[in-house]
Amino acid sequence: MSRYYVTTPIYYVNDAPHIGHAYTTLACDVLARFMRLDGREVHFLTGTDEHGQKVEKAARDAGVSPQDFTDRVSRNFRDLASHLNVSNDDFIRTTEPRHKACCAELWRRMASSEAPNGESNIYLGKYAGWYAVRDEAFYGEDELTTGPDGRKRAPSGAEVEWVEEPSYFFRLSAWQDWLLDHYARGNTEFVGPGTRRNEVMSFVRQGLTDLSISRTTFTWGIPVPGDPAHIMYVWLDALANYVSALGWPGNETDPEGLFARFWPADLHMVGKDIVRFHTVYWPAFLKAAGLEPPRRVFAHGWWTVEGQKMSKSLGNVVKPAEMISRYGLDPVRYFLLREVPFGQDGDFSQAAIVRRINTDLANDLGNLGQRVLSFVQKNAGAVVPEPGPLSAEDRKLLDAAAGLLVQVRGDLVAAQAFNRALEAVFAVVAEANRYVDSQAPWTLRKTDQERMRTVLYVLAETIRRVAILLQPFMPDSMAKLLDQLAVPADARSFAAFDAALRPGVALPAPAGVFPRYQDMAVG
Ligand code: MSP
């Protein structure tokens, strides 16, 4: 069976979960669910990034020990995954023993290997330069700007501070050519979308400097093997989660182990702000340790809120739990992945989400299901109708629905184009609504009942295909719709996509799946 390993970034525990975190996790959930339905063995990982200066400071501000603090906040992210109905197979915390052991071994392997220029991959030196705690990143002088307050800032807007301390370095400078070759190799592009790939390539072409990978001025982290005065750079520690969660290095030689089965990862989903860590540092670290790099990294865009950057100081942070209680979980899942071309930035506004709920979900899909199924209930004996001979219009709609699996698979698997996949499915929903109007089953009821049953059958079949394909996006609502079509649980995977509804099967009384937004507010 073919396998699929998909990961979210692990979230910093200095902050409460917001809609940006929910977005990354949901995108991965849709892929994981899609691949499972498509017959693949899936491993879907998420978790929390718990070390480093930023988390240490947040714990200090909260007046608790870093361990107590991370135990508490990590739970919020675990809860978020369950509120979002996310189907992750594992949740990794970087404070777990399995992770610490993996980091130590990764370090040892990097330290005992040679870079492409024949020098050792890790060496001891002294770091003198700028560091942004908010980004947990080092910056060159040339990358900084000076704000109106005279303070220097990173390109992300984060404040930087001058750091001078002994540090181990990773010989990143020697990996430039290997990285550039790597970006050009393979049939799947290593970095998506193309704009990010170009950015990464031009960053690497400009020349890489060696990377500081240990710190000595604070203690909340994983000690460097053999030199515990140093703790590992939090990004080296964090990136290693993708292999520590697979049980590496303990199961390295076990062909049945998670590592052998799932590494290299098929996809690391990340936000655009953390592309460099995943596409430059991480493949080089892995290669230095003798491990394969992941197959692909895809960077999505950022959400603003009602046109403004989301920030605690503006007080406009969108909390997933509030959105879910206001709009319902599946509508939020749908909106986030439908509204914005995946990879670009988007704006979260009340008007936009209400428009999507009322138009796409309530009017188009919800109404299609409701009017067809209640018509069948009242006028076709509450069973899957028996079709007669098919007309050209019937075939056209059925073919459009049948063609969706290949189209959606292409959009999601190769390009992570969630919005395009949804657009294609909803184009068929719109076609089905036009077909209802043009075929007018309510008129046929009086004039030609056999033709009426054919029309209803074609519609029910179309709804079945649409509902099967939308399961990864809106699992609960589509389960309800498939229940209403009496599709058995074992006929909901993509292997059963072509297994048409059986005429004569009894259908339960239908109930609306997607209420309009104002109705929800009243109810
Ligand atoms: N801990 C690191 C990742 C380590 S992975 C080995 C980190 N954590 S984070 O909590 O700050 O961010 C996690 C993800 O949330 C990132 O992919 C980031 O892009 C995403 N988002 C944070 N704010 C966002 C928006 N406003 N909009 C969309 N996604 C955003 O970085």
The residue ranges of every structural domain in the chain are 3-301, 350-519
Burial (0-12, 13-18, 19+ Cβ within 10 Å), 326? middle
| Residue among 444, 451, 436 at smallest CA distance from 397 | 436
> How far apart are the C-alpha atoms of 301 and 127, rounded to whole Å?
32
Q: What angle do CA 68, 74, 79 make, to 5 degrees?
A: 130
Pair 72, 148: CB distance under 8 Å? no
216 CA from centroid of ligand 1 (Å): 26
pLDDT value of residue 523 = 38
> How far apart are the C-alpha atoms of 365 and 513, rounded to whole Å?
9
- Judged against a pLDDT cut of 90, whether residue 150 lies above it is answered with no
Ligand 1 proximity of 12 Cβ (cutoff 6 Å): yes
Atom of ligand 1 nearest to the CA of 241: 6
What radius of gyration do the chain's Cα atoms show? 26
> How far apart are the C-alpha atoms of 437 and 454, rounded to whole Å?
15
Atom of ligand 1 nearest to the CA of 15: 10
> How far apart are the C-alpha atoms of 511 and 523, rounded to whole Å?
15
pTM of the model: 0.96
Ligand 1 proximity of 21 Cβ (cutoff 6 Å): yes
Cis previous bond, 249, omega within 30:
yes
165-198 residues labelled b (16+ CB within 10 A) or e (exposed): ebbbbbbbebbbeebeebbeeeeebbbbbeebbe
> How far apart are the C-alpha atoms of 305 and 192, rounded to whole Å?
25
Pocket test for ligand 1, best of 13, 26, 270, 348 (most atoms within 8 A of CB): 270
270 CA from centroid of ligand 1 (Å): 7
Residue owning tokens 């239908």? 510
Atom of ligand 1 nearest to the CA of 278: 6
- C-alpha pair distances (Å), 101 with each of 47, 223, 238, 275: 17, 11, 13, 26
Ligand 1 proximity of 196 Cβ (cutoff 6 Å): no
Ligand 1 proximity of 23 Cβ (cutoff 6 Å): yes
- C-alpha pair distances (Å), 5 with each of 35, 52, 149, 267, 425: 10, 27, 46, 7, 25
Q: What is the pLDDT of residues 119-128, one digit of tens each?
A: 999 999 999 9
302 CA from centroid of ligand 1 (Å): 9
- Judged against a pLDDT cut of 70, whether residue 159 lies above it is answered with yes
Q: What is the pLDDT of residues 31-80, one digit of tens each?
A: 999 999 999 999 999 999 999 999 999 999 999 999 999 999 999 999 99
> How far apart are the C-alpha atoms of 405 and 413, rounded to whole Å?
12
| Residue among 273, 335, 302, 336 at smallest CA distance from 132 | 273
403 CA from centroid of ligand 1 (Å): 35
Ligand 1 proximity of 303 Cβ (cutoff 6 Å): yes
Closest C-alpha residue for ligand 1 atom 10:
11
> How far apart are the C-alpha atoms of 153 and 335, rounded to whole Å?
34
Of the ranges 158-162, 448-452, 495-499, which one carries the lowest mean pLDDT score?
158-162
- Considering only the C-alpha atoms of the chain, give the largest distance between any 2 of them, rounded to a whole number of Å: 88
441 CA from centroid of ligand 1 (Å): 50
For the residues of 374-388, what is the DSSP string, one character each?
A: HHHHHHSTTBPPPP-
307 CA from centroid of ligand 1 (Å): 19
Residue owning tokens 């947040």? 58
20 CA from centroid of ligand 1 (Å): 7
Ligand 1 proximity of 237 Cβ (cutoff 6 Å): no
Ligand 1 proximity of 233 Cβ (cutoff 6 Å): no
Closest C-alpha residue for ligand 1 atom 13:
11
Atom of ligand 1 nearest to the CA of 273: 19
Q: What is the pLDDT of residues 93-138, one digit of tens each?
A: 999 999 999 999 999 999 999 999 999 999 999 999 999 999 999 9
Ligand 1 proximity of 239 Cβ (cutoff 6 Å): yes
* Average pLDDT score over residue span 447-462: 98
Closest C-alpha residue for ligand 1 atom 25:
20
183 CB contacts (<8 Å, ≥6 apart)? 190, 191, 197, 200, 201, 204, 279
pLDDT value of residue 50 = 97
Closest C-alpha residue for ligand 1 atom 22:
20
pLDDT value of residue 522 = 44
Give the domain 3-301 fold: Rossmann fold (3.40.50)
259 CB contacts (<8 Å, ≥6 apart)? 243, 246, 247, 248, 251, 252
Superfamily designation of domain 350-519: Isoleucyl-tRNA Synthetase; Domain 1 (1.10.730.10)
Closest C-alpha residue for ligand 1 atom 30:
20
% residues pLDDT > 90 (the chain): 93
Ligand 1 proximity of 9 Cβ (cutoff 6 Å): yes
343 CA from centroid of ligand 1 (Å): 14
- Judged against a pLDDT cut of 80, whether residue 513 lies above it is answered with yes
Backbone angles phi, psi at 459, to 5 degrees: -70, -45
Pair 140, 129: CB distance under 8 Å? yes
Closest C-alpha residue for ligand 1 atom 15:
21
- C-alpha pair distances (Å), 299 with each of 19, 81, 191, 276, 354: 16, 20, 8, 10, 27
77 CA from centroid of ligand 1 (Å): 12
Burial (0-12, 13-18, 19+ Cβ within 10 Å), 490? exposed
> How far apart are the C-alpha atoms of 306 and 56, rounded to whole Å?
32
Ligand 1 proximity of 270 Cβ (cutoff 6 Å): yes
Ligand 1 proximity of 310 Cβ (cutoff 6 Å): yes
48-82 residues labelled b (16+ CB within 10 A) or e (exposed): bbbbbbbbbbbbeeeeeebeebbeebbebbbebbe
Q: What is the pLDDT of residues 211-249, one digit of tens each?
A: 999 999 999 999 999 999 999 999 999 999 999 999 999
